[in-house]
Amino acid sequence: MSEWVSYYRSEEPEEEEEEEQQEAQAVADHRFSGRDSLIFLVDASEAMFESDGDGVTPFDMTVQCIRNVYTSKIISSDRDQLSVVFYGTEKNKNSADFKHIYVLQELDNPGAKRVLELDQYRGDEGRVLFRKTFGHNADYSLGEALWACSNLFSDVRVRLSHKRIMLFTNEDDPHANDSAKAKLARTRAGDLRDTGIILDLMHLKKPGGFDISLFYRDIINIAEDEDLGIQPEESRKLEDLMKKVRAKETKKQTLVRLNLYLNKDLSLSVGVYNLVQKAYKPYPVKLYRETNEPVKTKTRMFNGKTGSLLLPSDTKRAQTYGNRQIVLEKEETEELKRFDSPGLFLIGFKPLSMLKQHHHIRPAQFIYPEESLVSGSTTLFNALLMKCLEREVMALCRYTACRNTPPRFVALVPQEEEVDEQKVQIAPPGFHIIFLPYADDKRNVDFTEKVPASREQVDKMKEIIQKLRFKYRTDSFENPVLQQHFRNLEALALAMMEPEQAEDLTMPKAEEMNRRLGNLVEEFKQLVYPPDYSPDAKAVKRKQASDGQAEKRPKVEVSKDELWSHVQKGTLGKLTVPVLKDACRLYGLKGGGKKQELMDALTEYFSER
C-alpha cells in the first residue's frame, strides 16, 4: 500500500526534471503543441424539450452530459478550452450577429461558474427559464451555426492543438424544405474539414428513429485516426451519450514521436502512447493570502561569503570521486546525460513464445504509425505488423525515448485489430512495447517451505475459487481516495452543502461472497485447520527451551578500560541502551531510563575518579 504522501508529487519539479521535460517537448513536432478545444453545439428547438414518457428530455441529457465533461475537465485538463453554443433560439448573441444562434459561453477554461450556469437550465424549472431567456425558433441555419463556431476558434489567442465541435440534436433532416440552407451547411462543414476542425454528431433519441443518411452523413467529418464505418445508434440514455462523448473528447496525445529504424537506410515514423498512467492528486497551488492570486516561485543563488547574487554562468557542478571534486561545465553535464539519439532501432526477431510473464516489469506502451511526419509510414507499419502476426514473432529493439534517457531493450509485440458485433473498434492495430529486464532486475527470492496439501483440500479450494470468479476490468475499480478528494473539491467549488460520498469499489462484497460460497468455507476449515482452531484467538508465543531451561540472550559486557576510553573520546553514544544500563548497574549509578541520562551518569562517574 502506497503512503499518503505518494499521492502528492513534489510541489516544484527539480531543475533536472524541467530540463527533461523541455528535451522531450523539443523532440515532438511544434504542430502538435497547444491546448485542446471543444465546442458543444446544442440544438435548442422545441423538439429537444419533449419527453417520450420517461421524464428525461434530450435537452436535459445534453446539459447533464456537458456538465459531466466540464467537471471532468476541471480535474484532468483545466487548461483546455470549452464553449457552449445554442442554435434554434429566438434571441441571438454571436460575433457575426447570425439570427437564432446564441453563444452561451465563449471558448475559455472550465470553471465552477460555468457549471453553475449550466445547472440553471436542468429539469422542469430550467426548461421554463430557458424558454423565457432564449426562446425557440425553427428558422435557423446550421451553416451559420458552424460558421459561428469557426469564428470562436479564430478569436482565441492561445495556440490550439485539437479543434472539435460536438453537435447535439434529435432532428435528422433540419433543412428538408430549404435546399439553400442545406447546401450552405455542407459548404461550411467542408470548410471546417479543410481547416482541421473535427465535427462529431451526437444524435439523440427521436420518435421513429434517427436516420443519418438523410442529411448528416455529408456533414460530419472525423479525425485521421478514426474510421467512419457504421455509425453507432442514437443515444437513448445518458450512459450511452456519455460513452460516445468520452470516446471522442478523450485526448489521444502521444508521449513522443520518433522513428523506427529497420536498417540504416529505411525508417518509418511512429507515435508512442501510454496505455496506463498512475493517477495523482493535482499539484497544490500556492496563493497570496490577501488577493487569492497564484504566486510564482523564483530561485536565486547567492555567494555564501559575500552575499552577492550569482548568475548561472558563475556556478558549476562537481562530482566527488576518490576524495576529489571533479568540476564539470554545464555542457559537459548535458553531454553525460545523452546516451543516443531518440528512436527505436531494430535488432532482430524472436518467437512470441520466448516472451515470459516475468519479463513484464513495468506497464507497456503502444506505438501507432504517424503518417503526418513521414509519408508512407502507415503502409510500411501495416506490412511489418501483418508479417509479425502471420509468423507469430516479436521484434526486439533498442529504445531511446529522448536524448537524456538511457536506452532500454524492448520487445514489440504485435496486436491485431478487434471489433465488436457493431463493427466498432475495441482494440487498435499496432505494437505493444514490452520493457525487457536487465540482469540486475532479477532477484533470487527465498521461498518458504512448501506444506503439501491433500487432494481433498485442493479440490475443495478449487470449488471456492470457481464460485468467486468474476470478469476483472481495471476501469471498474476507481481509487477511492482520489474520487473522494475530487468530490470534496467539487462541493467547495459549487457551494454544495456536503460532498457526495464516493463508493469504495475495492472493498470485498462480503454478503455476496457468503451467499455464493454457502458452507464451502466451513468445509474447507474442517479439512485444513485443527478442531480447536479459532482465528480470533491471540497467538501464544512459544518459548524455545534448551535442556528444560529457557535460553537467555547473553549480555554484552564492556570492560572498565573500554568505558573510560569511550568517555575520553566522547563516543559513549555508540553503545546501546542495554549496555549502558548494565554498566550503570555495575557501578551502582542511578541514570534513569533515557540514553542521555545514562551517558551523563557514566561521564560524571569516570570524571571524578
Asked whether 129 and 120 are in contact (CB, 8 A), the reply is: yes
Q: What is the pLDDT of residue 13?
A: 38
All cell numbers assigned to 125? 424549472
Tell me the per-residue pLDDT of 415-426, one tens digit each, with 9 for 90 and over.
998 876 656 667
- Distance spanning both ends of the chain, measured CA to CA: 56
Phi, psi torsion values for 576, nearest 5 degrees: -80, 165
* pTM of the shown model: 0.59
Q: Residues 303-353: pLDDT tens digits? A: 988 989 988 888 888 887 777 888 888 788 888 878 788 999 999 999 999
Burial class (CB in 10 A: 0-12, 13-18, 19+), 270: buried
Q: Where are the beta strands (DSSP E) in 14-108?
A: 35-43, 81-87, 101-108
The pLDDT value recorded for residue 250 is 56
Q: What is the pLDDT of residue 5?
A: 33
pLDDT at residue 564 in the model: 83
pLDDT reported for residue 399: 94
List 9, 31, 193, 408, catalytic entry: 31
Q: Is 31 a catalytic residue?
A: yes
What Rg value do the Cα atoms of the chain yield, rounded?
A: 34
Evaluated on CA atoms 186, 191, 194, 199, the torsion sign reads: negative
Cβ atoms of 205 and 235 within 8 Å: the answer is: yes
| Contact in structure between 49 and 275 (CB atoms under 8 Å) | no
For 113-142, give the DSSP string. Answer: HHHHHHHTTSHHHHHHHHHHHT---S---H
Which residue numbers in the chain have pLDDT < 70?
1-34, 53-54, 221-252, 420-425, 535, 537-557, 591, 609
10 Å CB burial of residue 34 (0-12, 13-18, 19+) is middle
* pLDDT of the residue at 551: 47
* Close Cβ partners of 73 (under 8 Å, ≥ 6 residues apart): 80, 82, 110
Contact 75, 60 (CB under 8 A): no
